[in-house]
Structure 1
Amino acid sequence: MAPWGTTAFISLQWVLQYVVCREVTVPPGPLYRVAGFPLSLPCSVSGYEGPRTQDFEWYLYREDGSGQQMGVVSTRDRGFPYAPFQPRVRSGEVRVERDSGDRARLVIQRLRPEDQGRYECYTPNTDSRHLGNYGASVTVKVIPDTLQISHSRSLSGQPLAEGAELQLTCAAGVRSDQHTHLSVTFGVRGGAGTGAGPGAANGGQGHNLREIISIGRELGVAPGRSGDYEKRYGDGEITLEKRRGNGEGDRDLYVMKMAAVAPWDSGAYFCEAAQWILDPEGRWERIAQRTLELGNLTVQPLADTLTVTTNPRGEVTLPAGSPLNLACEVGGAGTGSSSALLVRWMRRGSAGVGDGVGGGPEVEVARMGPDGVVSWGDDASREGGGSMEKEAEGRYSLRLFSAHPADSGVYRCVVSVYAGSRSPGPYSPATVTQRSEGVTVNLKTKEVRVSSVAELARGPLLKRGNTVSLLCNVSVTTTGPSRVEVQWLMSREPPNTAVEKAARQEAGGRRLLAALTYDGLARLYSNGSDISVDQLSPGCYRLRIHAAGLEDQGHYVCLAEVWGQDPHGGWYNTGARAESPSVRVYLYARATDLLLIPLVVGVSSALFVGVVIIATVTCCFMNRLARQRSQK
């Protein structure tokens, strides 16, 4: 048994000695490389004995017919290089770079035509026995440099407004007897950080390099992976076009367009062209590359350049019924840019009667959308008639043909810019929104005096179910035609002071029951009762509550508002108003209501007494009947 085991062990050792043997590997050739550009030649060794860190030596066999062997560089012998390579090795132009202990590469930083030939990678023996191959060779062909790149014009250095279009071009080409491909990349250095985009920091470090878009070696267009270039490319905001043979010297022309630049697009732009070849092992290798600087770009944010002003400025005073003309001038949005603008006219004050010129909520008067469509906001502007127009680039006008006191207030022009978007969606956020200074518009009205008194119509005592008639007598003193609009309001408890009255009305403590408008239209509001309004005579207005109930008891006031007529025949609210003192409505009970309670009490008492008598008689009769039966 022992002799058989010994024999098997010796046989296995003999097989391993011949199976596991040294092997040196270099890429298959020939390899074509361009003069003036680097050569990187990998070499690896496997199946060796000895230390894990192996030494490498490179030899060159020139193709001059002599077949002379020349030492290029060695990892173990500084005196190994032949004379032509010694200064290049000392300067580091020719060197060995290790990937691992048994993998290294020969690097020649700048190839020369005389570097063409067959390169042999040799590994000195560290094995106990001399088995396998200790060197491998590959042929390197040095071809001339024909890669060319140029541009017709560079960036001017002038700042570009946010949202403007940017177009950059460069011409590139190569002439080679070998089948090579060309890739072109546009990029930028500096500006925003590597994560350029809306949320990126705006640090001008100058060392950040971002690829924007490129045409690859296989002729496919691809956006850069940093920042938001992929999204912008998908949205069609960044494009790269190749135009064949239109460049200088029959070179192809490459045109990059950015539909709308953003502040983080600032930086130094460049165009890079690279020549590629497919090596025999099936891998693409970059053999030449050139970069062309296209200049510096500074993008000014719209927030820094946008200006919105109104004309006239300050304060405008007009008679009622006069035309009102306001102009909005927009600057710094970029001339001929692809950005869309939303222009709105806003007003604060005098939208409702009694508001101060600068008080009240701000309302939208009119707007012009990015598509040029004008829409109106409040009813007063529409009824008065007006227009909003784009008179020229950056100038928008608002006209009210007949301005009324309700049109008084502080007007502002509000401009929203959508940088780089010609047709933003309804929910698209604006890049920047800016408001102009306010211009105060005052409308002079003729002097109007008005007073109102509310009273109950004369008649018998009011009882539940009767019709309640309330009269409002209005007196107006003015010049020219006038009309009155009357509103009836009701509250459960009377306000004690004017301040309390205003607070209660604002809080909804008083209910609006009905109104008779200046043009004779009756408006009735839900009250739970049947009501009506009419005008009995000039200056006398009536509110009637039919079949009044307990819920109609309370304090009633009438509010009179005076409307005047402008020179064009239109009617407007003069702002003159008067509220009457409150009138208390109390409803007495009817006679039938007064008899109801005694009747109910009497019927109930009679029923109770009758039931008691019947129950007593029945009980006595039953007891007597029971005694008679017991005696028998």
Structure 2
Amino acid sequence: MSVSMASMRTAFIFLLVQRVIHYAVCRDVTLPSGPLFRVAGFPLSLPCAVSGFEGPRTQDFEWFLYRDDAGGRQMGVISTRDKGFPYAPFQARVRNGEVRVERDSGDKVRLVMQRLRAEDQGKYECYTPSTDTTYQGNYSAMVAVKVIPDTLQVSYSRSLTGQPTPEGSELTLTCSGAIQSEQLTHLSITFGKRGGAEAPGGGAGGEVSIVREIISIDKLLGVNPGRFYRKRYDDGEISLEKRNGEGGQGVYVMKMKTVQIDDTGSYFCEASQWILDPDRSWQKIAQRTLDIGNLTVQQLAESLSVASSPRGEVTLQVGSPLILTCEVLGLPSDVNSGLLVQWMKRGSVGSDRVGTGGVEVEVARMSTDGIVSWGDDLSRSSGGSMEKVAQWKYSLKLFSARPSDSGVYRCVVSVYAGRRNPAPSMPATLTQRSEGVTVNLKTKDVLITAVAQLPLGPLLKRGSTITLICTATITTTGPAQAQVQWLRWPIPEPVTKQASEAPPSEPPTAENRTVVAALMHNGVANIYVNSSEISIDRLSAVSYRLRVHSATMEDQGMYACHAEAWAQDPHGGWYNTEVKAQSNAVTVYLYARAFDLLLIPLVIGVSSALFVGIVIISTVTCCFMKRLARQREQK
């Protein structure tokens, strides 16, 4: 009895499992929820999927249409297994590929009608022939498709002629669009550009068309820049706005503040009509593209040039005014560009001619907002000016030229095309330099000599005052002054330990020399070391004195004076003639003081006496203690 019950239970479970399996593999065909509204003349794409089937993984599909105007009569549209399946109205359209089935996978396909017609309105059925062992589930699904008329309109107000447009110009494109539909549909507008580029490895005939979306207003009125234009949009260089036009049309205005070289290309405006399907997905149901024209951007480098005057070479007397002019040529007048103008100088004075070596330095600049600043020589801010004298014309004036003003001058202009006030981090569109203007300054014949000496006197000791005399003699015409600087560097080894005038030695290197003090041409004294009390003064027209008070061992060394000749220009201003002289080197050695010499034996004597006393006391104490110990033992 128990065996029979177990067998019945097993059979029941088997039948139950079999029914569950049959239910689980029940065939199911699905289509999108309807009704679907699509526009005549534009594509229709209907996805169809089958699941829960038996048999091969690749299933066949057959499409039927029940036209609204045919009383619900069935018409064969297309089949994946039977080429003779289409009815007469669809045979030609299937043959030329206008109506076709595109397979996404073995169990998913889509019916594509390239150009939907008004008579294509109706209910579409997707049927899958059975490959199952038993007939279970649904083998088809239906969806209603409503064909609405094409009312999408798009136009532009001005086309591009293809004439060269200067780099940095502003570009404005206007596109209008409208939809007259009974259904609730949305409109999106996209501005784009087609350009040509070399295909990688294409060689001759390898050009491909590159289509780039510039900016768009989507179906929900959101503004979206294209991938390659994101930064320019963030910087405010590209914008798109919608305005209300006549007759309910929307007017869409795209602006590029400054066109660039890679903006060359063919521009278009694309209008798209969108609808929200019952499954809450947005579908593009119509699209129209309108070519606006070609834009050719002319490079600024092709027309821009910078000229400076006077040209060639200029020779001036020291103290004369120096006037240089910079002119920017070929800059489009209709492009609102900012200019950074700089005057640069390279060269040094050698005799009466200008050397071309050295580092190029900035003399003065005028920023895009008209602010003038001077380079390293800040004294020029009161002795010169930089002005904008006319449109695209700038002048540099040095009221009283100095010998140090000799050199090769160039005007450097950085153009920010279409940007009157660029951000500090924004690179210039183009930078160009003028030809060089060589400026020579005729100076007086100047000769200067310098002699350093240590006056005779007692031996110098630590704590003494070191006195050094520099005799600087200038031979020239007109007023002149010497500017004296004292240098110190270590005493070379070996050296004789006496203060004397040493023969001229090799000049000190920049690494080991120390500038001690200087007396400027205008009488101002500058002290550069803090280790000792130092003073410098002028004893006569040619004699300059350096004193180091309470000298320490750090103050000994090799001393020399360095003299520069300064002359006066006709306007009363002083300038450095660049004529220099280095004196002989003087050795300063500090001897030990007498007190220091006596202190050494005194210290040694005291130490010796103390040591002898300790030894005697220790010996006597030791003997006394031993004798005392013996006496105690005898008792």
Q: Structure 1 CA distance, aligned partners of 2:52 and 2:462?
A: 118
SS at the partner of 1:476?
strand
Alignment of 1:49-60 (within 5 A): 49-60=54-65
> Does the CA contact (< 8 Å) of 2:354 and 2:440 recur in 1?
no
Give the letter aligned to residue 162 of structure 2.
Answer: G
Instruction: Please state how far the C-alpha of 1:304 moved relative to its aligned partner.
Output: 7.0
The answer on 1:254 being equivalent to 2:252 is: yes
Partner of 2:575: 572
Alignment of 1:613-624 (within 5 A): none
Instruction: Please state how far the C-alpha of 1:215 moved relative to its aligned partner.
Output: 0.9
Instruction: Please state how far the C-alpha of 1:216 moved relative to its aligned partner.
Output: 1.0
Instruction: Please state how far the C-alpha of 1:159 moved relative to its aligned partner.
Output: 4.8
Give the letter aligned to residue 214 of structure 1.
Answer: S
Give the letter aligned to residue 552 of structure 1.
Answer: D
Q: Which 10-residue stretch deviates more, 87-96 or 587-596? A: 587-596
SS at the partner of 1:140?
strand
> Does the CA contact (< 8 Å) of 1:164 and 1:261 recur in 2?
yes
Q: Structure 1 CA distance, aligned partners of 2:183 and 2:10?
A: 61
SS at the partner of 2:162?
coil
Residues 369, 498 of structure 1: alpha-carbon distance in 2 compared, 3 angstrom cutoff: farther
> Does the CA contact (< 8 Å) of 1:30 and 1:280 recur in 2?
yes
Residues 379, 104 of structure 1: alpha-carbon distance in 2 compared, 3 angstrom cutoff: closer
Residues 124, 533 of structure 1: alpha-carbon distance in 2 compared, 3 angstrom cutoff: closer
Alignment of 1:157-556 (within 5 A): 157-160=162-165, 163-190=168-195, 205-224=207-226, 226-227=227-228, 229-245=229-245, 251-299=249-297, 307-330=305-328, 337=335, 340-350=338-348, 357-379=355-377, 381-382=379-380, 385-417=383-415, 423-424=421-422, 426=424, 433-493=431-491, 500-501=506-507, 504-505=508-509, 507-526=510-529, 528-556=531-559
Partner of 1:198: none
Partner of 1:197: none
> Does the CA contact (< 8 Å) of 2:273 and 2:287 recur in 1?
yes
Q: Structure 2 CA distance, aligned partners of 1:118 and 1:616?
A: 136
Deviations 1:302-324 (A, max 9, x none): 67776444333432221111222
Deviations 1:107-153 (A, max 9, x none): 22112233333333344455556555544443333332222222233
> Does the CA contact (< 8 Å) of 1:391 and 1:397 recur in 2?
yes
Among 95, 99, 114, the residue aligned to 1:94: 99
Partner of 2:498: none
Q: Which 10-residue stretch deviates more, 165-174 or 601-610? A: 601-610
Deviations 1:258-311 (A, max 9, x none): 334444444333221111122233322211111122334455666777644433
> Does the CA contact (< 8 Å) of 2:533 and 2:548 recur in 1?
yes
Q: Which 10-residue stretch deviates more, 56-65 or 402-411? A: 56-65
> Does the CA contact (< 8 Å) of 1:270 and 1:291 recur in 2?
yes
Deviations 1:68-109 (A, max 9, x none): 443332333322323332222211112222233343332221
SS at the partner of 2:448?
strand
The answer on 1:40 being equivalent to 2:42 is: no
Pairwise CA RMSD of aligned residues? 3.8
Give the letter aligned to residue 27 of structure 1.
Answer: P
> Does the CA contact (< 8 Å) of 1:191 and 1:264 recur in 2?
no
Q: Which 10-residue stretch deviates more, 405-414 or 271-280? A: 405-414
Where does the alignment leave 5 or more consecutive residues of structure 1 unmatched?
195-202
Instruction: Please state how far the C-alpha of 1:618 moved relative to its aligned partner.
Output: 6.0
Instruction: Please state how far the C-alpha of 1:183 moved relative to its aligned partner.
Output: 0.8
Q: Structure 2 CA distance, aligned partners of 1:432 and 1:499?
A: 54
Deviations 1:147-198 (A, max 9, x none): 222223333434555554433222222222222111111222335799xxxx
Q: Structure 2 CA distance, aligned partners of 1:490 and 1:46?
A: 99
SS at the partner of 1:84?
helix
Residues 482, 152 of structure 1: alpha-carbon distance in 2 compared, 3 angstrom cutoff: same
Q: Structure 2 CA distance, aligned partners of 1:477 and 1:483?
A: 10
SS at the partner of 2:209?
coil
SS at the partner of 1:184?
strand
Report how many aligned residue pairs link the two structures.
617
> Does the CA contact (< 8 Å) of 1:321 and 1:403 recur in 2?
yes
Deviations 1:413-444 (A, max 9, x none): 34445567655555555565554443322211
> Does the CA contact (< 8 Å) of 2:25 and 2:54 recur in 1?
no
Give the letter aligned to residue 95 of structure 2.
Answer: R
Give the letter aligned to residue 152 of structure 1.
Answer: S
TM-score for the superposition, normalised by structure 2: 0.84
> Does the CA contact (< 8 Å) of 1:326 and 1:397 recur in 2?
yes
SS at the partner of 2:394?
strand
> Does the CA contact (< 8 Å) of 2:354 and 2:438 recur in 1?
no
Q: Which 10-residue stretch deviates more, 119-128 or 7-16? A: 7-16
Partner of 1:116: 121
Q: Structure 1 CA distance, aligned partners of 2:12 and 2:613?
A: 137
> Does the CA contact (< 8 Å) of 2:352 and 2:442 recur in 1?
no
Partner of 1:199: none
Q: Structure 2 CA distance, aligned partners of 1:425 and 1:85?
A: 63
Q: Structure 2 CA distance, aligned partners of 1:477 and 1:97?
A: 102
Partner of 1:145: 150
> Does the CA contact (< 8 Å) of 2:352 and 2:440 recur in 1?
no
Instruction: Please state how far the C-alpha of 1:461 moved relative to its aligned partner.
Output: 4.2
Residues 309, 493 of structure 1: alpha-carbon distance in 2 compared, 3 angstrom cutoff: farther
Q: Structure 2 CA distance, aligned partners of 1:574 and 1:489?
A: 21
Partner of 2:202: none
Percent identity between the aligned chains?
Answer: 65
Deviations 1:440-473 (A, max 9, x none): 2221112222222222334444444332322222
Residues 427, 153 of structure 1: alpha-carbon distance in 2 compared, 3 angstrom cutoff: closer
Partner of 2:82: 77
Residues 610, 26 of structure 1: alpha-carbon distance in 2 compared, 3 angstrom cutoff: closer
Residues 623, 297 of structure 1: alpha-carbon distance in 2 compared, 3 angstrom cutoff: same
Q: Structure 2 CA distance, aligned partners of 1:363 and 1:411?
A: 10
